[in-house]
Amino acid sequence: MTKLWGGRFNKELDPEAKKFSYSLHIDKNLFEYDLKLNLAYSKALLKINILTHNEFSELEKEIFTLIKLYKENKIDFANAPDEDVHSLVERLLTEKLGDLGKKIHTGKSRNDQVITDTKMFLKDEITKICQLIIELQKVIHNIAVKEIDLIFIGLTHFQPAQPILFSHYLLSYYEMLNRDIERLQENFMRADVCPLGSAALAGSNYQLDREQIAKELGFSQLSQNSIDAVSDRDFMIESLNNLALIMIHLSRMAEELILYSSPLINFFELDDNFTTGSSIMPQKKNPDIAELIRGKTAKNISNLNGLLVLLKGLPLAYNRDLQEDKIYLFESIENTKIALNCMTKMLAGLKLNKSAIESALKKGYLLATELADYLVLKGIPFRAAHELTGQLVVYAINKNKNLEDLSLAEFTQFVPEIEADIFESLNYENAIKNKNILGGTNKNQVQSQLNKIAKRFKNL
């Protein structure tokens, strides 16, 4: 088939230049969207009498045939000679319908076509990713409900800090993922703007019903400036930023799975189907999938940076540089979907070593802040209480004791105001109960949050 742009040229494109510039191996992902676009556009051409009813019927039938072949994996992308997905679609239609196939490009450009395809694709992918996040949130919720009473080690600087409920710890990731969904929903709104009808950059000479086209393609809004419409990639930058953030959150989860499943800590055990062995050390059970989530995060971050650099200083309107945008987008979407699926399954199969967790509570003087707060309630200014508690911690370390194991006499030699009720404060369960503030680790607060989440899932 003659190229879409060949009439102006006397020479064929150099083979190396062809290899360098052809993009079908990337934008083939848009094939079905391009067919749907051409169907909607054909309806608009019918409305302004560029197509007859018979011509439209022939085009519609062939487009549906190609969609069916695509879903059956019968489109030979690997051996197709076409420059991109748009020229492939036009060639396939023209081979079946002759000159009628050549009419579909009337009044449109690959510039407005590709960005419309990409927005349609992205909206579908955003919907899928949001659902995958919800599935992960459901697993987090289920574990938190089941382990509502388990006391865990809260860390700062990866040092023992304060006792918390394990359920409260898990729900911190639920909150991160909630923000991811919110950002994706905002991203969807900005992708939900139809550029078709903008043509190359100046708009179309044909009185197309752009509202009808947008409705046919599932868009709720129309672009207002044809130059911006074909050159805008803001929504893709937002997408790549959101996908990088999702992966960062998954990477932080993966990091803790890796650390806590090490025999050196031994809080968690990962299921065998998400771990691998060593080719030389037979005892090893390596958290490779969690490590790969951590590693793929770097790729998502670099993809965001890649598109930012690509757009920096790019003049209006469309430039061929923008062909590269989809490489970043498609890879980041695929990484994120696989990582979400793997994390959901890993967490669902996670085993807790409660005896190791309980033993770890005795390390690191987790109740020191409870002691300082107890002293405040005895009328000692917090800064002084902090200093006295530090001295008692040093004393306990030297005696190889925990704070709760010190005698009343040992306490009073440092702080005469301390009474027998100190041992009520130096208690892990009471330390949890005392955090009865919205967002705190108190069981009632956590249970309230779990109830809200359950209600949300019920309403989805």
Complete DSSP assignment for 118-171 = HHHHHHHHHHHHHHHHHHHHHHHHHHHHHTTT-EEEEEETTEEEEEEEHHHHHH
Q: What is the pLDDT of residue 287?
A: 96
CATH of the domain at 392: 1.10.40.30
Q: Is residue 1 part of a domain?
A: no
Residue 221 neighbours by CB under 8 Å, 6+ apart: 192, 193, 194, 214
Q: Is 13's pLDDT higher than 80?
A: no
3-state class of 319 per DSSP? Answer: coil
219 within domain boundaries: no
Mean per-residue pLDDT, 422-436: 96
Does residue 43 lie in a domain region?
yes
Last residue of a domain, one of 106, 138, 169: 106
pLDDT of 1 over the 50 cut:
no
> Residue 359: inside a domain, yes or no?
no
Domain stop point among 324, 354, 384: 354
Verify that 91 and 177 share a domain, yes or no: no
Report if residue 238 sits inside a domain: yes
Does residue 216 belong to any structural domain of this protein? no
Mark which of 334, 354, 374 sits at the end of a domain. Answer: 354
Whether pLDDT at 425 is above 50:
yes
192 close to 220: Cβ distance less than 8 angstroms: yes
Contact predicate 434/370, CB 8 Å: yes
* Range of the structural domain that residue 169 is part of: 111-209+228-354
Percent of the chain with pLDDT over 70: 98
pLDDT: is 18 or 143 the higher one? 143
Mean local confidence (pLDDT), 105-109: 96
- Alpha carbon of residue 259 to chain centroid: 22
Is the confidence at residue 384, as pLDDT, over 80?
yes
pLDDT exceeds 90 at position 17: no
**HEC profile for 275-311?**
CECCCCCCCCCECHHHHHHHHHHHHHHHHHHHHHHHH
Query: In terms of domains, do 375 and 241 share one?
Result: no
Say whether both 58 and 141 belong to one domain: no
- pLDDT for the residue 339: 98
Does one domain contain both 144 and 90? no
- Kindly report the CATH number assigned to the domain that includes residue 303: 1.20.200.10
For residues 308 and 447, membership in a common domain is answered with: no
What span, in angstroms and rounded, lies between the C-alpha atoms of 188 and 174? Answer: 21
Token couple for 37: 């676009």
Domain presence at residue 273: yes
Distance CA 284, CA 288 (A): 11
Confidence bin at 399 (pLDDT 50/70/90): very high
Can you read off the two tokens belonging to residue 50? Answer: 């560029």
All residues at 6 or more sequence positions from 172 whose CB lies less than 8 Å from its CB, including other chains:
none
Q: Are residues 10 and 155 in the same domain?
A: no
pLDDT tens digits, one per residue of 281-332: 999 999 999 999 999 999 999 999 999 999 999 999 999 999 999 999 999 9
Q: Which pLDDT does position 7 carry in this prediction?
A: 60
Mean of pLDDT values over 78-102: 96
Asked if residue 102 and residue 115 are part of one domain, the reply reads no
Query: Domains in the chain: how many in total?
Result: 3
**pLDDT above 90 as % of the chain:** 94
- The CATH number of the domain where 43 resides is what? 1.10.275.10
pLDDT 10s digits, 243-294: 999 999 999 999 999 999 999 999 999 999 999 998 899 999 999 999 999 9
- Both 118 and 101 in a single domain? no
pTM for the model stands at: 0.94
The answer to whether the CB of 56 falls within 8 A of the CB of 42 is yes
Sign of CA dihedral 79, 319, 323, 181: negative
Residue 9 has pLDDT above 90, yes or no: no
Same domain, 15 and 115: no
The Cα 108–Cα 152 span in angstroms is 61
Question: pLDDT tens digits for 207-229?
Answer: 999 999 999 999 999 999 999 99
Q: By the 8 A CB rule, do 59 and 43 touch?
A: no
What does the pLDDT average to over 384-389?
A: 97
Quick check: 6 pLDDT over 70? no
Q: Position 387: which residue type?
A: E
Does residue 451 share a domain with residue 407? Answer: yes
Q: What is the pLDDT of residue 3?
A: 60
* Same domain? 142 vs 284: yes
Q: Are residues 296 and 331 in the same domain?
A: yes
Q: Is residue 436 part of a domain?
A: yes
In this structure, what token pair is assigned to residue 336?
């994120």
Mean pLDDT of 111-134: 98
Please check the confidence at residue 5 and state whether its pLDDT lies above 90: no
Q: What residues are labeled active site? A: 157, 278
pLDDT for 25-64, tens place per residue?
999 999 999 999 999 999 999 999 999 999 999 999 999 9
